Chain A
Amino acid sequence: MIAFALLALLVLGVPVGVAFALLVMVRADAWNIDLSSLASIPYDTVSSFPLLAIPLFLLGGELMNRGGLIRQLTAVCDILLGWVRAPLGHVMILASALMGAITGSSVATVAAIGGTVGREMSLRGYPRGYTAALNASAGLLGVLIPPSIPLILYGSIVGVSITQLFLASVMPGIVMMVALGVVHAWMSRRVLPGGQETAATAQASTHATVDGAMVRRSVASVLTRSIPALMLPVLVLGGIYSGVFTPTEAAAVAALYALLVTVLGRMTKLTELNGIFGRAALSSAAILVIIGFTSIFNRAMVLEQVPQSIASYAAGFTDSALVFLLVVNLVLLLIGMFMETNAATLLMGPLLAPAAAKFGIDPVHFAIILVTNIELGLLTPPMAANLYVAARTNNADLVSLLRYLGWFLVAALLVMAVITYVPQLSLWYRYF
């Protein structure tokens, strides 16, 4: 009944965050929730320092895009991946992995890459829905490539070494990159006109069209022009790994750097900044509304002890470790569809980790299974933040996005199966 009501609201076109909140309002009495307490939940959720990364990365992305920094970065990626067919999709995957290494957050990665590389993909002939589907899927790397906010949460609450968790997530992250790259290589033949990207924007291309003739620019020239853009990841990654600032602070530093380079380099007019900030504010607000108001539904599920009941069922179902893992996979997929990633990790980690230990499953391996599994929920509606953010930042409608999502989801599920049943993939670092 609840699922039907939610579906009806969503299909009608009620905003996602509002639909979840309305459902809880209507059922507040049945779920023993005091209606007056509902105001503090979204307020508490958004009053969070780590969440600042989302608007700040969106602002940085907008500045980098309008200021031409992304075109410069894309030009460099063209040099690196230009020999591959349909290179910009691979650039999006690689860039998402790099952003994952900066933000530790899937949603922030989708927002930053969608607002930058996604726009360039549209210019090169990719359908917006396809760009958004790839953007959302590649966003999974935001968590798999360390640092990872959910892994930090899991390590803290279950008592597993976070350093080991970061090491363990590297190989699954690489496998996920390869899997998404294979799907893109195959899909690009179908979605691109003639299977090839159309002409790149002038600054982005290592090939410029002059009087109809293709003239190859010197690689050195492109690299020289791209120095300000190339300094950005160095600044952010260097700052984080040297301990000068946190990933959230990196978002502010990146935006400030992009602002200074853009304004001082006269890449944009001061009068255009108003519009840049306005667009970033509108996109940020649309995403924060979902995060804030869906947290009410998370709270209701916890109060109803729904995750606890599911965990208890999963643990008591079988004596076989393999069957247990399969049930865990299915349960976490289900949980991920209805709960936010960090909340689900904090809740399900302590509930399932003891049962996994009883079955002899390594705690580090189980952490990677759990976090990756819950992370897949970001691609599975109704609570699929990556999809919503990717649709928003790529100006695609959800229906066209879902049309292209299937194969990327299948690839992610296959990688999930490999992570689950090949523990060596996560425990690789112990062999050295």
Chain B
Amino acid sequence: MVHAGRPPAGWLDGFEYRVFRVERWICVLSLVVMLLTVSVSVAVRYFNLGLPNVAEWAIVAMSPLTFIGAAMCTYAQSHIAVDVVKLLPQAGLRRAARGAVALALLVFAGVYAWIGTLFFVDMRQSGERMLDMGTPVYVPVFFLMLGMVLMLVHAAIELWRVLSDQPPIDEASLT
């Protein structure tokens, strides 16, 4: 199960775990929104209820699921990657590779947090809205920006863990 037991010891680990719990809650809520709105839109069309297309919210929910989910995957070490380095017998090489990955994630998330913020500000100023329900585009874009900021936090803490020779978060311990 991804909902897990007690937060880990240490204030930084505990803080990161609580951030993860919030991310997970947002992603679960996104899934619920997708499930309900798409199902409702089928019913609305089948029974000709004359209501607007609420499935637009399902498309909006893809943003938190993807980008907040990216941060969640960074914490849970569940991004899809080629795991060949983990099979190496030398602990030093494994640690170096882990550090390089954390650094790559830090750079990636840093750049995306920055350009995501620019994108969010742009959408906020343009006032652009989606077609069916009129949802402002800056709403889903906000989750892109937030997700990348959270990913940056997780990547920085993971890099600190590597430098202080602490073990990574084990996905299995969260499930």
Taking beta carbons and an 8 Å cutoff, which residues of A are in contact with B?
9-19, 21-22, 25, 35-36, 38-40, 42-43, 46-49, 51-52, 55-56, 59, 244-245, 248-249, 251-253, 255-256, 259, 272, 274-275, 277-282, 284-290, 292, 381, 388-389, 391-392, 397-399
Contact = CB atoms under 8 A, between A and B. Distances in A.
A22 B105 CA distance: 9
Of B2, B59, B66, B83, chain A has the most CB atoms within 10 Å of the CB of B66
A52 B38 contact: yes
B81 A52 contact: no
B108 A275 contact: no
B17 to A, nearest CB: 14
Contact of A39 (B1, B62, B87, B116): B116
B80 A286 contact: yes
Interface string B27-56: 110111011001101100010000000010
Nearest to A251: B38
Interface residues of B, number: 59
Interface of A is mostly: helix
B39 A256 contact: yes
A364 B124 CA distance: 46
Contact of A59 (B35, B69, B108, B112): B35
Nearest to A278: B2
Nearest to A398: B82
User: Helix, strand, loop or mixed for chain B's interface?
Assistant: helix
Contact of B80 (A11, A281, A290): A290
- Residue with the highest number of chain A CB atoms closer than 10 Å, among B2, B46, B82: B82
B35 A285 contact: no
A287 B80 CA distance: 8
B80 A21 contact: no
Contact of B81 (A14, A38, A280): A14
B115 A35 contact: yes
Interface centre among A11, A249, A252, A399 (most CB of B within 10 A): A252
A289 B74 CA distance: 11
B28 A36 contact: no
A320 B34 CA distance: 51
B46 A244 contact: yes
B109 to A, nearest CB: 9
B152 interface: no
Contact of A289 (B35, B60, B70): B70
Nearest to B87: A399
B133 interface: no
A55 B83 contact: no
Given A25-B111, A43-B144, A256-B39, A392 B69 contact: no
Nearest to A51: B62
A278 B30 CA distance: 11
